[in-house]
Amino acid sequence: MLIKNLCIPKINLTTITESATLKETLDILEQSGYRCIPVLDDKGEKFIGNIYKMHIYRHAANGGSLGEPVTSLIKNQTKFISINSSFFEVFFTIKELPYIAVINDQGDFYGILTHGKLLGVLQDAWNVDSGSYVLTIATGEVPGSLTKITKIIDKHTTIASLITMDSQAEDYIRRVLVTLPAGISEEEKNNIVTNLERKGLRVIEVEHLKLPKK
């Protein structure tokens, strides 16, 4: 995953330095319209954490002084990734955050990777824009199921994308989501579904990507 190509670089971001007051920070947050911005050291090099508008307002509502340093309300100090981090590290670090800070090889703040960019990567991997149907196939913990699925579909067409989702419930079920390429007719899709189910592979859902959402 090329994080460098996905993240917003520091030069294009609104940030605040650690010596700023809460009042100065709140003014910048209000002017920018952001709910949260990165806090950097006074040299503008190291990532210190994030500051959220809601925490400043809550602090003021409880009688706190806006003359205090921004570091008094700083959050997410350890929530950052390397510019060379893997997709799974990024995915499990960002979670509920609006963005994740990105650090370069020298340990300096490089920029941020937003939730929207990460979802865009997943959308591209799913081939939502160029696919036709998504088949959700339920399999048990049976060796060779994935090979069987791909062999059956390969007899009819190519596979635009394939994603597996595992359930951790007692009745272990693996769901395989296969995106068929554009141009597949409903008849061809039905033949694929029939052949999959004939081989004991249960197709539990078929979604047409080109139909308007209700």
For residue 114, give the CATH number of its domain. 3.10.580.10
Query: Which residues touch 100 (CB under 8 Å, ≥6 apart)?
Result: 79, 80, 81, 90, 93, 94, 112, 113
- Whole-angstrom distance, CA of residue 172 vs CA of residue 184: 31
pLDDT by position in tens, the chain (length 214): 578 888 999 999 999 999 999 999 999 999 999 999 999 999 999 999 999 999 999 999 999 999 999 999 999 999 999 998 887 788 778 877 889 999 999 999 999 999 888 877 777 766 666 778 999 998 876 678 889 999 999 999 999 888 887 655 545 567 888 999 988 999 999 999 999 999 889 999 998 877 655 5
pLDDT of residue 206: 92
pLDDT of residue 49: 97
Q: Which of 88, 120, 152 is the last residue of a domain?
A: 120
The verdict on pTM exceeding 0.85 is no
Q: Which of 79, 97, 120 is the last residue of a domain?
A: 120
Pair (164, 181) in one structural domain:
yes
Give the other-Cβ count within 10 Å of 7's Cβ. Answer: 23
Question: What secondary structure does DSSP assign to 174-186, as a single string?
Answer: EEEEEEEETT--H
How do 8-9 and 16-17 pair as beta strands? unpaired
7 located within any domain: yes
Pair (68, 142) in one structural domain:
no
pLDDT of residue 35: 94
For residue 176, give the CATH number of its domain. 3.30.70.260
If one counts the domains in the chain, the total is 2
- Whole-angstrom distance, CA of residue 135 vs CA of residue 153: 11
Q: Copy the structure tokens of residue 75.
A: 């959050």
**Which range marks the domain in which residue 159 is found?**
128-208
Pair (98, 157) in one structural domain:
no
